[in-house]
Amino acid sequence: MPNTLSPDWLKKSVFKPDIFKGKVVFVTGGAGTICRVQTEAMILLGADAAIIGRRPEVTQKAADEMAQLRPGAKVIGVGNTDVREVKSLVAAAERTVKELGRIDFVICGAAGNFLSDFNHLSSNAFKSVISIDLLGSYNTVKACFPELRKNKGSILFVSATLHYYGIPFQTHVSAAKAGIDALSNALAVELGPLGIRSNCIAPGAIAGTEGIDRLLPADMREKALSLIPAQRWGQTEDIANGTVYVFSEAASYVSGTTIVVDGAGWHTSNGAANNAVYPQMLIAQGNDTPKL
């Protein structure tokens, strides 16, 4: 299944057309695989969108393509935006309001990841992932807060399941995603009285994404798949469906929670990584000179 949606998606969607008509979604990482399909679903269901990214050409290209999904859709690409800098995001939010009129939904999806054991993970590399994933998520909500408050909007953080158990080579990302979960929970409590909902969505192993293509070695994939109780890889469409639900009126009483979309995989699939590398490879890596 391709990792983009087409107008035909509406024919099989369980959601009513135009449920987001007149609404605007602000998405960091919107040109990426998962966040792009999340955004496409929102557009097909009536929303306009702002795609936020660092690379102007890539961001604008994605926005132009997504604008073709629905007649009359307005999709802007806001490149040269660094989620690590709150002023950069404030400028992106201001442009969104100027061109699209409002912000109702925020998807915090900008993220970075790579494989590294603790001994070879420098402090700077650890900080870089924390800055993009966690600080970037905080900055995104901070920049959009006036609009969220005004429109009684909703926030969705793209999290993960890595921190539910100990998994090697993902110390940096696990810490960042755990922080995102805590941030979302705190915001749900603090911003709830203002009419703002805050939730996380935690994708499992999704086909066609870096999580499998780059981060899961080929010789481990068969074992990993066998340990997913649903017995299939997830699809980006699965995450899109969860996103639409969380932002829809069907979830108007859902806040401060994490929607895990992984076929129950987190309960078992950590064994795929641990069986392959634990403990021999980690002992070998740990005997090297530490990278500071």
State how far the Cα of 229 lies from the Cα of 261, in Å rounded to an integer. Answer: 12
116 as an active site residue: the answer is: no
What's the token pair of residue 137? Answer: 């998520």
Report whether 287 contacts 182 (CB < 8 A): no
Q: What is the DSSP string of 228-245?
A: STT-S-B-HHHHHHHHHH
State how far the Cα of 99 lies from the Cα of 200, in Å rounded to an integer. Answer: 28
Q: Residues 177, 198, 255, 269: which is the catalytic one?
A: 177
State how far the Cα of 193 lies from the Cα of 207, in Å rounded to an integer. Answer: 38
Q: Residues 159, 174, 184, 198: which is the catalytic one?
A: 159
Report whether 74 contacts 98 (CB < 8 A): no
Report whether 221 contacts 206 (CB < 8 A): no
177 as an active site residue: the answer is: yes
Q: Where are the beta strands (DSSP E) in 58-211?
A: 75-78, 105-108, 154-158, 197-203
Backbone angles phi, psi at 16, to 5 degrees: -70, 140
Strand-pair partners of 258: 200
State how far the Cα of 157 lies from the Cα of 133, in Å rounded to an integer. Answer: 10
Specify the DSSP class assigned to residue 201.
Answer: E
Strand-pair partners of 105: 25, 154
State how far the Cα of 264 lies from the Cα of 143, in Å rounded to an integer. Answer: 34
- The separation between CA 56 and the C-alpha centre of its own chain, rounded to angstroms, equals 20
What are the CA-CA distances from residue 103 to residues 47, 78, 94, 224, 288 (Å)?
10, 14, 10, 39, 49
Active site residues: 159, 177
